[in-house]
């Protein structure tokens, strides 16, 4: 194969790589390594650090039966610094309460999770952290306690 052919192939691969690469303006220093979930007062309620093998989860969320609570999601970079999702091109989507009869969940804007308690008990939630048009990772197994009167 000629050198010219190799140069043409290399140029084609570089262009293809640029076309399918991440379209986000986020620099590598603000790559999300996890999320911090904060309550209405700005206090940390839970933390999820992404690790494909076994994520590190601390804290948990709480909502009362027949109450509505909004939590905000913040990004966590590889150095442990917290950042605002909207400033870095991130958003959340597809939230799920694992035991759906315990609570309802919805997204509020790009960084809000709205929980409404339905039945007392424990469960977990999960959601996707997105960057541009792709999911960075799924934050999962975040504890949720629905508190209130005993249903019996």
Q: pLDDT, tens digit, for every residue of 23-73?
A: 444 443 468 999 999 999 999 999 999 987 789 999 999 999 999 999 999
CA distances, 2 to each of 13, 102, 130 (Å): 17, 66, 43
pLDDT score, position 29: 41
Q: pLDDT, tens digit, for every residue of 116-150?
A: 999 999 999 999 999 988 899 999 999 999 999 75
CB 118 within 8 A of CB 146: yes
**CA angle, 145 as apex, 33 and 48 as ends, to 5°?**
5
In the beta sheet, which residues pair with residue 56?
49
Give, rounded to a whole angstrom, the gap between the first and last alpha carbons of the chain. 78
pLDDT score, position 51: 85
Encode burial over 96-109: b for 16+ CB neighbours within 10 A, e otherwise: ebeeeebbebebee
Tokens, residue 31: 């790559």
Domains recognised in the chain with CATH numbers: 28-147 (2.60.40.1080)
Q: Is the pTM of this model over 0.75?
A: yes
Kindly give, in sequence order, each residue whose CB lies less than 8 Å from that of residue 145, ignoring residues fewer than 6 positions away: 60, 61, 62, 63, 122
């Amino acid at each position: 194969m000629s050198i010219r052919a190799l140069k043409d192939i290399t140029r084609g691969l570089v262009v293809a790589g640029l076309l399918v690469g991440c379209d986000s303006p986020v620099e590598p220093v603000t790559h999300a390594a996890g999320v911090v979930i904060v309550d209405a007062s700005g206090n940390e309620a839970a933390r999820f650090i992404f690790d494909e093998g076994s994520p590190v989860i601390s804290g948990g969320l709480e909502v009362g039966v027949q109450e509505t609570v909004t939590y905000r999601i913040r990004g966590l970079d590889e150095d442990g610094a917290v950042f605002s999702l909207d400033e870095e091109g991130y958003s959340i989507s597809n939230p799920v309460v694992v035991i759906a009869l315990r609570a309802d969940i919805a997204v509020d804007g790009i960084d809000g999770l709205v929980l409404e308690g339905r039945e007392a008990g424990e469960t977990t939630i999960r959601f996707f952290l997105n960057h541009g048009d792709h999911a960075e990772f799924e934050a999962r197994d975040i504890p949720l306690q629905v508190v209130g009167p005993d249903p019996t």
